Amino acid sequence: MRIIDYYNYIMTAACVLTCAAAVVIYKKKSAGKNAVSDMSDRMTYLLLTITICIATFLRLFLLGCVPNGLQQDEASIGYEAFALAKYGVDRNGYAYPVHPLAFGSGGNSELMIYLNMISVKLFGTGIVKLRLIPAILGIATVFVFFFVLKEVFSAPAFAGKKNTLSIVGTAFLAVCPWHVILSRWSLDSNIMPFLQIIGLYTFLVALRKKTAKSFALSAALLAIGMYGYGAGTMVIPMFIVIACIYALIKGALNVKKLIISAAVFMIIFMPLFLFYAVNYLGVPEIVTDYFCINKLTATRSGEVFLTLDSSLPQKLLNNLKVLGLVLTVGNDEDMLCHFYPGYATLFEFTFPITFTGLFLVFKDFFVGLKKKAEDDSEYLCNNAAFAAFLIANIVLSIAVETDISRMVTLFIPLVYAFVRGFDFILSNSKRLAAVLLIMVLLADISFVKDYFTDFNSKVISIFMPTYGDAVARAYEIAGDDRQVYSTYDGLSAPFIVALYYTDYNPIAFNDTVEYYDDEAMFRTAKSFGNFVFADIPENFESEEYENTVFVVSSAEVSRFEETGNYIVENMGGYSVAYKE
């Protein structure tokens, strides 16, 4: 085992003992006797500035090479953005689609693509430019989270701790392994925490201001969040229903404001609603030269949602198991692009603190329903908003074949729960609270060291380093006249990486592409233009391949080197082999 594994075991036990000690202290004296002196506003904003600087460093340092290479969905998002920015159509020939066809069943959400389209227009293509959107929005998420916590902890129940708790929560999110890893590559789900936090913040502000305009603004931003990722189309409506019912009960929202906000939400959501109508209700496609609402070649509902058959009980149990792991020590079966072993989600050892906070969140949620409308209604509604996201994500995690990317909106509420658990410890023992912060700090130092020195070695099969450089070099040599023959060894959907690295014309691609299976859930190209993607042929030296430029893996390159007839340019994990 590694040092971090021993550390996790020891610190988990320490967190359990810390929570137990806080409970004992709480029972021995009245709550609040351990007076806490809140930090000044000046110190708070100084620490916020330092926290944002740390968050910025962790999300921008070596952005182009950690992770090294491009994952297939990342390349797909980048290529769709390039195609729309330069040619006005996606790779399937649709002009500005509401939801791009992508691999056939969608697979890439529209908001990330269109944000990157703007980036392409301004800065061009490239790995760093492709990853700037999630990195910048990741930093913004940390910043906005501070003000979300300030809204919640402005309640009288947290008097004397508002600034302290807000800074602790913000700093925890800034260094949280889940959020650092998520912010450093361009998967569509990776911008959901920002969309979630900005919608949540405006909702909390609306609860305070109680104006129709503020609720309408919140509704507009939550509707935009529906375009961020497929899981959001389940989580956001559930959040809205639960949070708004609670606010109606507590008198923070009335029916008139709800109707206005619902109308704003539906107006913004309408294009995506029509997309679902086209694909699931049989409404005809809407295809124009200016925008498209197209039909997918395959739908993912059977792959994503649990089916009512004999496999249902086993799948439900598995989903509950996955949820339990994610809430505690992390799920080692998740793809390594989403987590780093030993540093799962919110650090593996913090779950006793988080569970303490979850108890307090749901205690206040249910107790608040019994109180009169005027009793702490603003705080109770704020707390209920976080509880609503937790409930929505738990339902999602049970209803679909879940993984950490689909559960992406679960973790912001979990960080809030961690802060609530920290508050319970702080309220009973400042020393225990200080020890907890030191535990997290030491774990984060270890995470930063390991992530920037070792993460790439664990995700080679996912991000396919050097393949993009090799295929771009092959196309530079071959042009459009010679065949480019690419290996499939160690690769996933290499055609999309080739498209992105070569800035290939999407119209030419759509006219010439041949898929292995046109009706597959994720269509992968066998060939397009002068590119072929398959196993390297045994007779590669035959006359048929005389002018072919090969892209080969490190396991295959010796076959070309041994002939003595090929020029071999080694790019690292992949090489280019060709004859003059």
- The residue among 8 and 31 whose pLDDT is bigger is 8
Q: Residue 413, preceding bond cis, omega within 30 degrees?
A: no
Distance CA 331, CA 507 (A): 41
Report residue 443: phi and psi, to 5°. Answer: -65, -35
Tell me the two tokens of residue 474. 């092959």
Average pLDDT of the segment spanning 52-69:
97
- 347 sits in the region (left: phi over 0; alpha: psi -120 to 50; else beta) called left
Q: List CB contacts of 204: < 8 A, sequence separation 6 or more.
A: 148, 151, 152, 382, 385
Cβ pair 252, 375 in contact under 8 A: no
pLDDT of residue 402: 74
- Closest to 78 (Cα-Cα) out of 67, 66, 68, 90: 90
Local confidence band at 131 (pLDDT 50, 70, 90 cut-offs): very high
pLDDT at 42 over 60: yes
pLDDT at 32 over 50: no
Tell me the two tokens of residue 561. 């080197």
Query: DSSP string of 431-452?
Result: HHHHHHHHHHHHHHHHHHHHHH
User: What is the distance, to the nearest Å, from the Cα of residue 111 to the centroid of all Cα atoms in its chain?
Assistant: 13
Amino acid at 168: V
pTM for the whole structure: 0.95
pLDDT of residue 31: 47
Distance CA 334, CA 340 (A): 10
pLDDT of residue 319: 86
Tell me the two tokens of residue 170. 């913000």
pLDDT of residue 34: 62
Distance CA 39, CA 235 (A): 36
Domain boundaries, the chain: 3-450, 464-578
Distance CA 560, CA 574 (A): 13
Distance linking the first and last C-alpha atoms of the chain: 51
Give the count of beta carbons closer than 10 Å to the beta carbon of residue 47: 19
Cβ pair 485, 550 in contact under 8 A: yes
Amino acid at 142: V
Q: List CB contacts of 290: < 8 A, sequence separation 6 or more.
A: 95, 96
Q: Where are the beta strands (DSSP E) in 412-548?
A: 484-486, 514-515, 525-528, 531-533
Q: Is 578 helix (H, G, I), strand (E, B) or coil?
A: strand
Average pLDDT of the segment spanning 303-307:
62
Q: pLDDT per residue over 522-570, tens digit each? A: 999 999 999 999 999 999 999 999 999 999 999 999 999 999 899 999 9
304 to 105, 151, 337, 398: CA distances (angstroms): 12, 36, 20, 11
Q: How many CA atoms lie within 13 A of 390 on its CB side?
A: 21
